[in-house]
Amino acid sequence: MITTTPVWAIVATAGEVPAPDRDDLRRSLELAAGGRSDRILLATCHRVELYGTGPIPTTALPVLTDSRAVEHLLRVAAGLESAVRGEDEVLHQVRGALAGARLDRRVDGSLVRLFETAIAAGRKSRSGRHVQAPGLADRAVAWLAERFGLAGKPVLVVGAGPVGLALARAVRRHGAELTVASRHGRMVHGVPALDLEQAAHRAPAMAATAVALAGPWAAANQLPPTVDLSSPTAVSPTARARLGPDFLGIDDLFKDGGAAPRGYVELAETVVLSKTAEYLAWSGARV
C-alpha cells in the first residue's frame, strides 16, 4: 500500500539498526531513490535516511511526515541527533546529499528548499559556538589514549578517506608514532602507506590500531586495542571477540554520546524550531 504526504522521511539510526543492517538498508534505499526527482538519500556513519515528497514506499522502518520530518532533518543538520552533539561532519554530509542528488537530476523544489533550510539551520546553530565539538575520530582516539596511553607509542591508522585522515590527525595530536595503511598501499596524504596485508602483519607490534575502511579487513586477525569507525565494521567478528573490551566500534560511540559545547544544545534547538516554522510557512504558502 502506498500513502502520500507533502514531505516524509524513512529513518534508520545506529540506536535501532546495527551497522551491517544499515549497510544493506542503504543499498535498498539507494534503489528506492533511483534517480527520482522526489527523493534524496542521506547516509552517514550512524544513519540512513530517505527524504521524499509524494508517495511513501512501503517499509517496516519508522516514517516521519510533515513537520516531524522537517524538524528531524534540521536537528540532524544541527548535530542534535549526532553521537557527538554539535559535531561538524554531519552538516557537510547533509550538504553533500543535496549536492549529490542535484548532479544527475532535477530535484523537487520542496526537497531542495528543505535541505537548504536544514543547512542554514546547521550553520546558524554553530555560528555562535566558541569551542568546536570533537568529532568521532577525536573521541575514538581519546578512548584509546585514556585506556592505553598513546604518547610516544606506535599507532597504526588503516584507511585513506576523510575519516582515516581525521584519525591520523587525532593520533598525532596525542603524540603517538603514526603508521598509515590503505587498501592498495599507496601514498596517503603524502605519507607512504602499507597495504592491508602488510598492515595486518605489523599490527600486533602496535600499541593500538584505528580503522576506517569501506569494506572488510579480512587479514586482520591479531590486533592490539582497536577502534573501528568503518560502517559496516571492517574488523571480523572473530577478531572483535578476541579483543573483547579492547575493541570500540562505530555503534559503541553512538550509544555513548559525547557532550556538546556549553550552551550549544539550547541555541541549536531554538534555531531548529524557528527554521522549521519558516519552512512550513513557505511550504504552506505554495499550496
In the chain, the domains with their CATH numbers are 3-131+263-286 (3.30.460.30), 136-235 (3.40.50.720)
Task: Give 9's strand partners.
Answer: 51, 64
Residue 116 near residue 98 (C-beta atoms within 8 A)? yes
Alpha helices, H only, the chain: 19-33, 66-77, 89-103, 109-127, 136-148, 162-173, 196-202, 237-243, 250-255, 264-286
Per-residue pLDDT tens digits for 70-93: 999 999 999 999 888 888 889 999
* Separation of alpha carbons 74 and 110, rounded Å: 14
Q: Is 8 helix (H, G, I), strand (E, B) or coil?
A: strand
* Separation of alpha carbons 124 and 272, rounded Å: 9
In total, the chain counts a number of residues equal to: 287
* Separation of alpha carbons 265 and 86, rounded Å: 8
Q: How confident is the model at residue 34 (pLDDT cuts 50, 70, 90)?
A: confident
H or E, element range at 47: strand 47-56
Per-residue pLDDT tens digits for 186-244: 766 677 789 999 999 999 999 999 999 988 998 888 999 999 999 888 999 999 999 99
Residue 96 near residue 151 (C-beta atoms within 8 A)? no
Preceding peptide of 232 cis, ω within 30° = yes
First to last CA, the chain: 25
Give the pLDDT score at 3: 44
Per-residue pLDDT tens digits for 112-150: 999 999 999 999 999 876 666 678 899 899 999 999 999
Q: How confident is the model at residue 159 (pLDDT cuts 50, 70, 90)?
A: very high
Please tell me what DSSP assigns to residue 224. S
| 22-29: Cβ within 8 A, 24+ apart | 22/47, 22/48, 22/231, 22/232, 23/231, 23/232, 25/61
Catalytic residue, from 11, 12, 45, 118: name it.
45
Q: How confident is the model at residue 260 (pLDDT cuts 50, 70, 90)?
A: low
* Separation of alpha carbons 14 and 254, rounded Å: 7
Residue 49: is its pLDDT beyond 50?
yes
Q: Which residue has the cell 527520482?
A: 36
Nearest to 173 by CA among 204, 198, 210, 202: 210
Identity of the residue numbered 142: A
* Separation of alpha carbons 107 and 37, rounded Å: 4
Residue 15 near residue 254 (C-beta atoms within 8 A)? yes
* C-alpha cell read off for 135: 568529532
pTM of this structure: 0.77
Percent of the chain with pLDDT over 70: 91
Residue 4: is its pLDDT beyond 50?
no
Give the pLDDT score at 201: 95
Q: How confident is the model at residue 5 (pLDDT cuts 50, 70, 90)?
A: low
Residue 39: is its pLDDT beyond 80?
yes
Is 45 catalytic? The answer is yes
Mean of the pLDDT values across residues 143-169? Answer: 93
* Separation of alpha carbons 209 and 39, rounded Å: 38
Residue 172: is its pLDDT beyond 90?
yes
Exposure of 186 in the CB half-sphere (CA atoms within 13 A) = 5
H or E, element range at 178: strand 177-181
Give the pLDDT score at 105: 86
Q: Which of 13-17, 36-40, 256-260, 271-275 shows the lowest per-residue confidence on average (mean pLDDT)?
A: 256-260
What mean pLDDT, rounded, does the chain reach?
Answer: 89
